[in-house]
Amino acid sequence: MKLSAWMRTASIRTAIACAALVPLGVAQAAWPDDKPLRVIVPFGAGSSPDQVARVVGERLAGILDQTVIVENRPGASGNIGTHAIATAEPDGYTFGVSITGPMVNNTVLFDNLPYDPFTEIAPLTLGVHQPNVLVVPTDSEIQTIDDLLEALKENPDTYNFPSPGAGTVSHLAVELMLQRLDSTAVHVPYPSSPAALTSVISGDTHFAALPPIAVMPMVKGDRLRALAVTSAERSPLLPEIPTLAEVGVEGIEGSAWIGFVISSKVDEDIQEQLSDALIEALHDEAVVNKLADSHMQAVGNSPEEFRAYMDEELERWGPLIENLGITQNKN
C-alpha cells in the first residue's frame, strides 16, 4: 500500500487495530499453563533483537514460572519472522520482538507485505531505545557536530555516509538531518551494520549514524569520534554526547528501537497478562543493567503508548521514504 493511503487512514488503522484485540473465540481456561512460551526473533542469533529477547525472556520465565524459548526466523528485512508472529496460533504462547523496519518502514518500502502490522499485530510493550550515534573516524578533520554540520552545508555531495541498507533508521536519520540543513550527501548502503561500521573506520566513508552497541566500543577504543545522538534528549546511557537539537537541528529522533508484539487475534486478557509481565521484566534492575551494558535503554511502556509511538514513526519516516523514492524488492 502506498504511503498516501497509510497517512489518510492512520486513525482508522489505529481503531481497527484496537478492535482486532477482541477475542475471536480462542478458549483459555488458564494462562499460562505448562506449555512453553516461544519468542520469535526476525533476525539472527547475536543481533540486538536477539539479545533483548534472551535477556528479557530469562526474567519473564521467572515471573511467569514458564519455560521461554527464543526462535530466530531471519530474512527479508525482518518480514519473515514478523509475519510468523502475525500468523502464529493465537493461544498466547507465541509472541515476538520486532523493530522499526518490519513494523513501520516496510509498510512504505514494500508494495505488498504478507502481513499488516497495524491490524494483524498487537503491541505489548516497547522494549528498548537505541538512539543512533553520529560518528567520524578519529583522524577526521571534523572534531565536533558543529564542524560536521558546517561542512555538509558548505559542501553538498562532497561527503558520503554508510548504512546497513536503504530505508533503515541509520539511513533515514541522516537524510532527515540533511533535509533540515538543505544539503545533500552520498548514501552508501552496506549489507550489515558491521560492514557499514568498517567503512567508516577504514575511511571509505566520512561519517555515519549507527546504533551505540556498534560504535561505542570503537569510540572507547579511540577509533571513532562520537559527535551527537539522534534523540530528542540526551541519552542517560551516553550523557556526555550532545543531541542534534542542541545545535539547532530539531525534530531528529532516530532510534533503533526494539519492541514486543503478538498476533492481534490473541485473547485480550492474555495480551494484558503478557504485557504486564514483560513490563515487569523490563523494569527489573538486573535486566535494566544487562541491557545498559549493551547501550540499550530499557523502556517497558503500555501497549497504547507503544502503538502511539509507532504511529509517530510512520509520520516521521513515511513521507521521507516516499520523497526519496526508496523501494525494496516487491513482494
pLDDT 10s digits, 195-226: 999 999 999 999 999 999 999 999 999 999 99
Domain boundary among 247, 268, 291: 247
Q: Is the dihedral of CA 257, 295, 124, 35 positive or negative?
A: positive
330/266 Cα distance (integer angstroms) = 29
Q: Residue 50 carries which DSSP code?
A: H
Domain boundary among 247, 269, 284: 247
State the CATH number of the domain containing residue 175: 3.40.190.10
8 or 201: which leads in pLDDT? 201
Give percent of the chain with pLDDT exceeding 90. 84
Q: What is the 3-state secondary structure (H, E, C) of 149-187?
A: HHHHHHCCCCCEEEECCCCCHHHHHHHHHHHHHCCCCEE
Three cell numbers written together for 197: 561500521
Whether the model clears a pTM of 0.75, i.e. scores above it, the answer is yes
Tell me, yes or no, whether 240 and 261 share the same domain.
no
When pLDDT is averaged across residues 230-242 and rounded to a whole number, the result is 92
pLDDT at 27 over 50: no
Tell me, yes or no, whether 125 and 271 share the same domain.
yes
Tell me, yes or no, whether 97 and 156 share the same domain.
no
313 or 232: which leads in pLDDT? 313
Domain boundary among 189, 220, 247: 247
41 is in which domain, residue-wise? 3-129+257-324
State the CATH number of the domain containing residue 92: 3.40.190.150
Tell me, yes or no, whether 16 and 100 share the same domain.
yes
Lowest-pLDDT range, 20-24, 49-53, 96-100?
20-24
259/78 Cα distance (integer angstroms) = 13
Report the relative pairing of strands 258-263 and 94-99 from DSSP bridges. antiparallel
Band of pLDDT at residue 29, cut at 50, 70 and 90: low
Average pLDDT, the chain: 91
